Amino acid sequence: MATRRDFMKMTALAGGVMAGSSVSNSALAGLPEPVSQTSPDTMDPLQPHDGSHPYNPVVTLNGWTLPYRMNKGFKEFHLVAEPVVRELAPGMEANLWGYNGQSPGPTIEVVEGDKVRIFLTNRLPEHTSIHWHGQRLPNGMDGVAGLNQPAVMPGKTFVYEFEAKRPGTFMYHPHADEMTQMAMGMMGFWVTHPRTKHPWISDVDRDYCILLNAFDIVPGSATPQIMTMLDFNLWAWNSRIFPGISPLVARKNERVRVRVGNLTMTNHPIHVHGIEFQVTGTDGGPTPPESRWFEVTSDIAVGQMRQIEFIADEEGDWAMHCHKSHHSMNAMGHDIPTLIGVDHRGITKKIQKLVPDYMVMGERGMADMTEMTMPLPDNTIPMMTGKGPYGSVEMGGMFSMLKVRADLKPGDYSDPGWFQHPEGHQASEYTGELPEVSEGPGSTNGLMEVNEAPTESQFRAIRPKDRKG
């Protein structure tokens, strides 16, 4: 099995040596300096520094925003496609491909009407390209290798130039060997802010970005299976899985926007507890106010963007997750039989004579797995994990929390800790007397009676020729 060191050594040799032989130092000297970030923490928003068109910057959950430089009216960015090692959660790392040290790559943030120039340097062991998902741009800048441009070979640097024509939420990802490269984690966020006040775009206090992605990593290994079509076992937000996903935080009564993009192979109904939200934007831009309604779950299909907004007016630690329940679990087997209600006491003792460490799983449901201490393969975390103030949260994958506090300072994105519930505002055990269980009318042992045979009054057959209408 290839170790992390082997993976980085091999891929760095493939990309780095070629880069050195194909791109001279003098050529690179004219480019914006590549900025790299490897920390899995949520970085503070990048405040606009050119001063011409101020905006409220976004915060990428467990990610960061790529700095730029101004050059003769262009905002210039430098993306480096390269192998990365991403911490999915404490205790688990993955060998991925990404940009500038991370998967997903850094968020690109601009203003409507900006002239943008992006340099792409390829340090992968194979060719690549970048497609600017959802953008209006010249056809030759669309980034489909073989169709709109030659592929960017290892060691080469290409440049993309276009105008950010409309405000909205977008993505970038390869359009060369797309199946492999996206399965390995190559993707990133793009946000275009409005240049002037837009009647359909609200001012918000906090603006979050989340990319939905998925991996198939065999327990005990670190490199994704790239040929998987449906049976993924790790469902991620910004290449992080719970309990490694940072919480979204907000000050009470702040207006919050969450931008979500889906680059997995299936849809995700994203559900937020404790609030009602409206979908205020899609891939096509902001939605007209008259088209919006309040809901608590928004289903995001493959390749789609959704922008939701709400007022964080209820304090607490509110769950936020994909409502496909197996997407809020970590790596699990797909062939585990259902053993609920099966008494294993006799057979277990016989098996343990041959296999002393044998343990029964699932005869009373799967919650026991949070308490089991069986050894796991290296670089693997439990299926149901994450500790809350009252025990195991029994979640994984696409799960986090919206933490709302009255005393949170504006612009503070640090985790405020667990919520302290006011007296009388928390469910608790009832310790009083319980009433006797009574049987319902017409029941036997609590079950409704079933008539042995239907009567004429219950149904009557109608011949086709007698049917009216």
We report the CATH number of the domain holding residue 74 as: 2.60.40.420
> What is the full per-residue pLDDT of the chain (469 aa) written as tens digits?
456 556 655 555 444 433 333 344 444 558 899 999 999 999 999 998 877 788 999 999 999 999 999 999 999 999 999 999 999 999 999 999 999 999 999 999 999 999 999 999 999 999 999 999 999 999 999 999 999 999 999 999 999 999 999 999 999 999 999 999 999 999 999 999 999 999 999 999 999 999 999 999 999 999 999 999 888 999 999 999 999 999 999 999 999 999 999 999 999 999 999 999 999 999 999 999 999 999 999 999 999 999 999 999 999 999 999 999 999 998 866 566 666 667 766 777 777 778 776 666 655 555 555 555 567 889 998 888 888 999 989 999 999 999 999 999 999 999 999 999 999 999 999 999 998 887 766 555 555 555 555 555 454 555 655 545 4
- Is position 170 within any domain? yes
State the CB neighbour count (10 A cutoff) for residue 240.
26
- Is position 302 within any domain? no
- Is position 111 within any domain? yes
Count structural domains, the chain.
Answer: 1
- Is position 69 within any domain? yes
CB distance 59 to 14 below 8 Å? no
- Is position 256 within any domain? no
- Is position 144 within any domain? yes
- Is position 367 within any domain? no
Torsional class of 441: left (φ above 0), alpha (ψ -120 to 50), beta (otherwise): beta
Q: Which two tokens stand for residue 37?
A: 């970030």
CB distance 307 to 281 below 8 Å? yes
pLDDT at position 21? 32
How far apart CA 363 and CA 379 sit, in angstroms, is 27
- Is position 46 within any domain? yes
Q: What are phi and psi of 81, to 5 degrees?
A: -80, 125
CB distance 244 to 238 below 8 Å? no
Domain residues for the domain of 188 are: 4-193
Q: What is the pTM of this model?
A: 0.84
Of residues 209, 259, 202, 206, the one with CA closest to residue 409: 206
How far apart CA 58 and CA 468 sit, in angstroms, is 63
